[in-house]
Each structure stands twice: as structure tokens, then as C-alpha cells.
Chains A and B, each alone.
Chain A
Amino acid sequence: KAGVTQTPRYLIKTRGQQVTLSCSPISGHRSVSWYQQTPGQGLQFLFEYFSETQRNKGNFPGRFSGRQFSNSRSEMNVSTLELGDSALYLCASSLGGQGVGYEQYFGPGTRLTVT
């Protein structure tokens, strides 16, 4: 079974621009979560989507948004990029059902550099 895929793997953007990152979960997984990893703050939860609805949200500004499509694929968008948004963005998928499948499987990440 194919793992979680993320595209693109690397991205360089300029301050003020916006960016969209994509995540394809493991087949059959309905929950997709996004995390940001920086050397200073470590791994931080951004948000989680299940059945096209945002179900959980971390403490990030509104410039960070996401969505999920009917095939469970997800995108996250960061508008008005700041230098501090440079990070590894990780996507994780899980079955998402009640009582089962809470293990999350991570993709390789998208390395975003803001200059």
C-alpha cells in the first residue's frame, strides 16, 4: 500500500507570497493532519480534516488554512508568507474512525524556505 505523499518536496518563496502544499493520504484513510516543524518550536499541530471538515485546529494565525477533498486528499495554504514560516510541513493520515485507527502515518514533508 502506498504511503502518504506530499508535493512539492521543496519550495522557495518570497515574503508576502502565498503557497499551497498538497497531501495524498494512504488509501482508505479519511483523516489528514498537518504539522509544522521548526528547529525552535519543534513539531506543532496545525489542523486536522476528516470527511472534508476541519475537526481540530492548533494555535496558528488565520494565514494558515486548509481543505480536504472528497477523495481525502488535502491541501494547506499559507498566505502572506513571513520569514518565520520557513519550516518542514508534514502531513499525516489515519483511518479516522471512532475507536480505531488513531495511529498517524506521516509523509516525507515539504521543506518551505521563505526569503
Chain B
Amino acid sequence: DAKTTQPPSMDCAEGRAANLPCNHSTISGNEYVYWYRQIHSQGPQYIIHGLKNNETNEMASLIITEDRKSSTLILPHATLRDTAVYYCIVRVNSGGSNYKLTFGKGTLLTVNP
């Protein structure tokens, strides 16, 4: 799986949009970008994933640059409950050998009142 780079920490004001960047300059054409988050002492939570097009669901939006070398996770209206470590992971979605997620250190997002 391609390596990802994320800032170690970010702050965001409650109610504002949180934009979390991820660099994955060595991503291959068949690798997807996944985002998970982990609230303190809980299991990681799947947020969203995408290949090339921007994606949106009820939790967040994922913007992937045209060259796919970086992406941004957007939480449109951050709340205090969004304080968590956010992990960006790239992986291939094919075959039975790809149910292994490689987690980096992630970004600790702190949402302030």
C-alpha cells in the first residue's frame, strides 16, 4: 500500500468546516483513498473512501486532486464530538489479499468550543 503523510495535529472551531489534508504522492492507479477516525479509546470508524472522483456521504466529503497525489477530508460543520484521530489510508480494492489496513499516525483533530 502507498505511504501517506498527514499533519500530526489540527485545530478547528466548532461549527466551522474542518479540512484534513493527506499526501499520497506514490499512489497507484488502482489504489483507493480511505478515511477512518478513532475517538479516544474506541474502535476506528469508517468515514468515506474514493478512487478519483469526489465523494460525499452523511459524515463527510472527500476531495481527491486530479493527479490523485493528495486528498482532503472535509467535515462541513465540525462538532465537539468530531474530536478524534483521523487516518488516511490508501489500498487496493481487489482480491482476497487486501483486507489489511495499514494505519499511520493520523491527524489529531481537536474541535474547540
Q: Do A and B bind each other?
A: yes
Chain A residues at the B interface, C-beta cutoff of 8 Å: 4, 31, 33, 35, 42-45, 48, 50, 55-56, 58, 88, 90, 92, 94, 96, 98-99, 102-109
Contact residues in A for B29 (Cβ distance below 8 Å): none
Give 27 CB contacts A-B under 8 Å. A4-B43, A31-B99, A33-B101, A42-B103, A42-B104, A42-B105, A43-B44, A43-B101, A43-B103, A45-B101, A45-B102, A48-B99, A56-B98, A88-B41, A94-B99, A98-B95, A99-B93, A102-B32, A102-B93, A102-B98, A102-B99, A103-B49, A104-B46, A104-B101, A106-B43, A106-B46, A108-B43
| Prevailing SS type, chain B contact patch | loop
How many cross-chain pairs have Cβ atoms below 8 Å apart between A and B?
A: 68
User: B99 near A55 (CB under 8 angstroms)?
Assistant: yes
Chain B residues at the A interface, C-beta cutoff of 8 Å: 32, 34, 41-46, 49, 87, 91, 93-105
